[in-house]
Amino acid sequence: MSDPHTASDTLMLTGAWVVTMNHGDEVFAPGAVVVQGDRLVAVGPLEEIRSSFRPQKTKDYPQALLMPGLINAHTHAAMSLFRGLADDLPLEEWLTSHIFPAERRLNRDLVYWGTKLAVAEMLLSGTTTFCDMYLFAEAVAQAVEDSGIRAVVGEVLYDFPSPNYGLPEDGLRYTAELMQHYIGHPRVRVAVQPHAVYTCSPDLLQKSKDLAERFGARWVIHLSETPREVADCQKRYGATPVAHLNRLGVLKPDTVADHAVVLSEADLEVLAASGAGVVHCPESNMKLASGICPVTELLSRGVPVGLGTDGCASNNNLDMLGEMDTAAKLAKVRQLDPTALPARETLALATRMGARVLGLEAEIGMLAPGLKADLLVIDLDQPHLTPLYDPYSHLVYAATGGDVQTVMVNGRILVEDRRLLAFDLPETLARVRELSRKFK
């Protein structure tokens, strides 16, 4: 056997379990991962890794599970400011009578601190990457830069004036400038994000898609979220929202359809043929009584599906471990089939498939050599996680965000022993409490 590999900047993390979520679904018990700089250089059985590497530093977690960081594929981070502001309402009333009016009072400072609050919640509960659609996207991106998390961000585009960029025609210019600014950034990517078919004209949808293609970016849109949206689109355009986008030529492999709740058989086939991805947001859709995304039907047709929390105003938390539990159980209830969306498949939605939906599968979503070092440590030394027979079962049905012990993004530890190291949490809480008075 060759001498162990030694490097001055390597870190080895060991655990009772390593759940890789790689394409072979390998699990090592016990296992280890080796990080060098911002990347994983080795993942495997503990003794094999120990015999092959002599790291500069080792962190042992003898009663813990190591896994890829969770990917929240759809949220509106700064809506943490609106948590509890308007509850128990239909989507249309919630949006037009409460959220849109509150958003007209937003500014860059509010969005920055609201995003940092959301990032704190996400990091502490194991999310290492999120896809954000919101106003003042440069403030969202700045919060991502300052906090160390990874994100795909984008300015929400409407046919009506925005409190950020003003007139609709300026939204595309604003997005293009943001995309240009973040080219090559190690943790921030920018997507083009028209809000929905009922808030964006066909012209805006096509122009925004052209912009996304020019930059090779994801094109993200709320799609077929409610029966009313579908009925209104059929009345206005003579087609379902899915068929409408397909007719406009914007439904392509780089399209991300958020929610996708109300889908006909024809819609399912069109989505599958297009190569577009879908993001399932079960708790938000339940709370707003929008319906249930037909996840298993999409997956059976080869449509990639990620998992998202949506924003805190319609969920009301950002705990992806809880979201997995809801997603798995909701699929079983919908189909009256206990085998629907099993735990391992559910975990894939929040890791490697979420990465695929966002176009990040070459960087994150698995623990594998060469990928970015985005991972988390789950503390198994808990009554509700003892004993452990199947790690997938525990991660989906038993673990909570409070079990997250350590979080690493891009090779940097941002949470350690449940303490947020990335930035000053007390300062963020104080600023948000002060700024939230604007909405009382």
**What is the set of domains in the chain, with CATH numbers?**
5-69+365-420 (2.30.40.10), 70-357 (3.20.20.140)
- pLDDT surpasses 70 at 368: yes
For residue 4, the model assigns a pLDDT of 56
| pLDDT per position as a tens digit, 252-296 | 999 999 999 999 999 999 999 999 999 999 999 999 999 999 999
Cβ atoms of residues 307 and 284 within 8 Å: no
**Token pair of 259 as six digits:** 């929610």
- pLDDT surpasses 50 at 230: yes
3: pLDDT confidence band, cut at 50, 70 and 90? very low
- pLDDT surpasses 50 at 126: yes
For residue 439, the model assigns a pLDDT of 74
For residue 100, the model assigns a pLDDT of 81
**DSSP, res 389:** S
Tally the C-alpha atoms within 13 A of residue 221's C-alpha that lie toward its C-beta.
28
| pLDDT per position as a tens digit, 151-180 | 999 999 999 999 999 998 899 999 999 999
Is the N-terminal amide bond of 30 cis, ω within 30° of 0? Answer: yes
Report d(CA 291, CA 192) in Å as an integer: 26
**CA-to-CA separations, 435 to 82, 135, 163, 432, in angstroms, rounded:** 11, 17, 17, 5
Q: Largest Cα–Cα distance in the chain?
A: 71
| pLDDT per position as a tens digit, 392-418 | 999 999 999 999 999 999 999 999 999
Is the N-terminal amide bond of 391 cis, ω within 30° of 0? Answer: no
Report d(CA 317, CA 283) in Å as an integer: 9
- pLDDT surpasses 50 at 1: no
Cβ atoms of residues 256 and 230 within 8 Å: no
Of 38-42, 93-97, 200-204, where does mean pLDDT reach its minimum?
Answer: 93-97
Amino acid identity of residue 437, one-letter, is R
For residue 362, the model assigns a pLDDT of 97
Average pLDDT, the chain: 95
| pLDDT per position as a tens digit, 377-399 | 999 999 999 999 999 999 999 99
Give the global pTM: 0.96
| pLDDT per position as a tens digit, 216-225 | 999 999 999 9
Cβ atoms of residues 30 and 15 within 8 Å: yes
pLDDT (average), residues 301-328: 96
pLDDT (average), residues 365-376: 98
